[in-house]
Amino acid sequence: MNLLLDTQALLWFILSDPRLSRKAQDSIVETEGMIFVSPASLWEIAIKISIGKYKLPGNFQQFWDKQLEINDFTLLPISIAHASLVADLPYHHRDPFDRLIIAQSLVEKIPVVSSDSMFNFYKGVEKIW
């Protein structure tokens, strides 16, 4: 099964953070499908770094190039279909990054790994946590 990681799940997995649920951890490690990362997650992290809310150990691009490679994660390009669905989504969630991840999950029919309870309000989103 393919999976799409939201920003928290991505960071918590890479940093071995205990806040990542056991089910989420096992799903990521044991999947035989592809693990996708949205560019929205990287954009969100970049913004948090630029305003001083987050730090990475080293250069942003080098860090993510390495992490995507060693974890065998694949970037899921943002398509017009994804953006179009964002425009049509009900406004349950204010976070623009999560709204795009929700749209990507729905368009691509990929379960999303997320602790965010707001994802539950979107019909058709399969959430793993």
Stated pTM of the model: 0.94
Number of structural domains the chain divides into: 1
Per-residue pLDDT tens over the stretch 46-76: 999 999 999 998 899 999 999 999 999 999 9
Average pLDDT over residues 70-90: 97
Mean pLDDT over each residue of the chain, to the nearest integer = 96
Domain extent, residue 112, equals 3-128
Q: How far apart, in whole angstroms, are the C-alpha atoms of residue 105 and residue 125?
A: 7
Cβ atoms 104, 4 nearer than 8 A: yes
Per-residue pLDDT tens over the stretch 99-108: 999 999 999 9
- Residue where the block lists tokens 């806040």: 19
Residue 75 CB neighbours (<10 A): 13
Task: State the Cα torsion 73-47-20-110 to the nearest 10°.
Answer: -50
Per-residue pLDDT tens over the stretch 23-52: 999 999 999 999 999 999 999 999 999 999
CATH number, position 109: 3.40.50.1010
